[in-house]
Homo-oligomer: A and B are copies of this chain.
Amino acid sequence: MTASTLASRSRHVLALMIAAGSVLACITPDALAQEGRRRRGGDQEAKPVQLSPEQTDQLTKIATDRKLNVDDLLSAAKTYMPSGRHDDYVLFSSGGQSGQVFAIGVPSMRLLRSISVFTPESWQGYGFAGEADRVIDSLKINGKVVAWGDTHHPALSETKGDYDGQFLFIGDKANSRIGVIDLRDWETKQVVKNPLTVSDHGGAFVTPNTEYVIEGGQYATVLGYGYAPIEEYKKSYRGMVTLWKFDRAKGRIDVANSFALELPPYWQDLADAGKNASDGFFFLNSFNAEMATGGIEKGNPPFEAGASKRDMDYLHIVDWRKAEAAFKAGKAKMINGFAVLSMETTAAEGILHLAPEPKSPHGVDVTPNGQFMVVAGKLDPHVTVYSIDRIKAAIASKKYSGTDDYGLPILDFDAVKEAQVELGLGPLHTQFDDKGYAYTSLFLDSAVARWTLGGEYDSLNPEPAWKLVHKTPVQYNIGHLCAAEGDSASPDGKYLISMSKWSVDRFLTTGPLLPQNFQLLDIGSTGTTMPVIYDMPIGVGEPHYCQMIKADKLQSWKVYPEVGWNPHTQSLDPNAPKKGQEGVVRDGSNVIINMTAIRSHFSPEHVEVNEGDHVTWRIVAAETAQDATHGFCIGGYNINLSLEPGEYTEFTFTADKPGTYPFYCTEFCSALHLEMMGYLHIKPKGTK
């Protein structure tokens, strides 16, 4: 073929491609989707699968070559997702010290998306919008940007104790913050900083109708960023738990209607809200009831020993409706601008009771019916089960074994205890299924224990109540665990995730820093059948806790509702430029750029400003097709946007370095994506 016949053919191709300014017009996502389903049979009816002798041979040959055994083939069949078939559950996992949230499909254990919360991330354009970036502003603490978080506990919003799929809250242990994610567009809308404490542990946990997001503290400090030497620990250091009021209509935490409880300087840990039988209460663990203050360098016992001396720590039982009433009645004092109910008030009003719990507990988990609270003391081989009926009765009859150093009443242990079940070494956290079983993580045993609940759950499984049934080994050292909707009022009993903290040899060595290991267990059967069916490396952070929601509960937007949508206000933005209104508006040294982006060009393509100008750049992605995302960046100016279909955004910068700057689309949007660019000219001072 000669160059000229080539040329005529390629003109034909180009004509196909550039149609009304929109490349890919010839290959719409809908058409692609239908084609994809047809190819892969995504919508096929369930009809019995049969293997011919040849197919069986093919399968066993692959297994033999790859050294798979029959269990492996069964596990593969339980977890494999063909192209275009969607997972049954979404696991929303904290990203640990990455500061992010990860969404993972179950049972395929594929990482579907990360969501930026406390750490700026450029793919999502989160924190890369120049000088007046609202994300960066929201991350400031005492005037300084703290651009990371230690995300610990995600909490899906709930209605009547069940996940409703609307919002996700996530706590930052390192800096005591809560992030609010809107699950319509999977973006972080708000970050609130707790003004009382430096760091926390327990946040976020929600009450059954998401009235409040509960954030428990951890390491005691002087509330409100005060100073006191370590010698004044008992006198001046305090714990706290904060009840953040959630405004569901606005999709934001309402800080003015939020308040905290002052607590003793025990290290509070996880919280769980009561539901059904225990609605109106929440439960909060603690450890270091010893009030040990460490100091290994001075010859003192280190915290690891000092905080583990006592036989009992304290379960904190909080009547949050009483607390709310006291707050509304003006009984709070202000610390660093935030309302706090003092220990005197919580004791006087009957808001807070303590109950002994065996030692150094890590998890308190409420059964789906709200009847029982399961506490796992990591230095005790048992789980201890409390009953809400016993707790209520003990409170009513003031069945106390005394008060603590701060005057808080301590309920009698034997009066509130329902049962203890010996499980093994290092029990931490418990989740539930629909068959009357509880599942507890055993850190030191490196196992998941299945055991039976009592009460109304007793009849659901073949074994007697309050008994260990089975332990499945996991690799290695499980922290939290998560069953399908397993901490809600109606667990599904299908899958369970072991959040194994050490992977050691499970995956290829990735240098000295290794991934964690999310192991998927099939808990669909009863008795001793509970196999590990998948290992997923987590090499993007160390997740702490996660929740697993039925995928069909999520009603996510496929594109923004209208072109010109501002994701921060969740409404059409009046500043969003419309097609035909693009251009540059100058007011002295303040310049506004109005730009549209559509496959495959920006308009305008030439932008000229003067050195020193203050530039506000407004961009609308004028796309309406799903997945037609554009990006926008200017090299050297730390600016990158993710412009999802319909999205409006703006960024600002000072044009302080003159030169000739290409800007371009950073998402591969079309065949002519590379041509989707333009030039920003920053004219040097003194240039004509």
Contact = CB atoms under 8 A, between A and B. Distances in A.
A1 B418 CA distance: 11
Interface string A215-246: 00011011001111110000001000000000
A134 to B, nearest CB: 17
A80 B76 contact: yes
A124 interface: yes
Interface string A507-533: 111111111000100000000000010
A514 B629 contact: yes
A292 B142 CA distance: 50
Contacts of A29: 476, 502, 504-505
B105 A77 contact: no
A681 interface: yes
A6 B50 CA distance: 55
A184 interface: yes
B378 A671 contact: yes
A227 B510 contact: no
Interface in A304-341: 304-305, 307-308, 311-312
B144 A638 contact: yes
A645 B511 CA distance: 11
A147 interface: yes
Interface in A361-385: 362, 377-382
Q: Is the interface of A mostly helix, strand, loop or mixed?
A: loop
B9 A304 contact: no
Given A112-B539, A228-B660, A382-B1, A294 B627 contact: no
A266 to B, nearest CB: 12
A69 to B, nearest CB: 6
A660 B226 contact: yes
Contacts of A406: none
A679 interface: yes
Given A558-B512, A676-B304, A78 B66 contact: yes
Interface stretch (A33-41, A159-167, A255-263, A343-351): A33-41
Contact of A13 (B6, B312, B425): B425
Given A3-B414, A198-B635, 9 more contacts: A32-B476, A36-B504, A39-B473, A51-B70, A62-B74, A103-B539, A230-B606, A304-B676, A504-B626
A21 B446 CA distance: 20
Interface centre among A113, A201, A295, A668, by most chain B C-beta atoms within 10 angstroms, is A668
A223 B172 CA distance: 45
B662 A199 contact: yes
Interface string A367-408: 000000000011111100000000000000000000000000
Given A27-B446, A105-B507, A121-B98, A82 B111 contact: no
A605 interface: yes
B511 A626 contact: no
A64 B80 contact: no
Contacts of A303: 601, 605, 675-678
Contact of A62 (B77, B119, B537): B77
B59 A46 contact: no
A218 B662 CA distance: 10
B380 A6 contact: yes
A463 interface: no
A114 interface: yes
Among A120, A296, A298, residue most surrounded by chain B Cβ atoms (within 10 Å): A296
Contacts of A637: 146
A547 interface: no
Contacts of A677: 219, 294, 303
A175 B636 contact: yes
A659 B269 CA distance: 22
A660 B237 contact: yes
Given A605-B303, A629-B514, A68 B77 contact: yes
Given A60-B49, A303-B601, A640-B150, A473 B671 contact: no
Contact of A644 (B508, B512, B583): B512
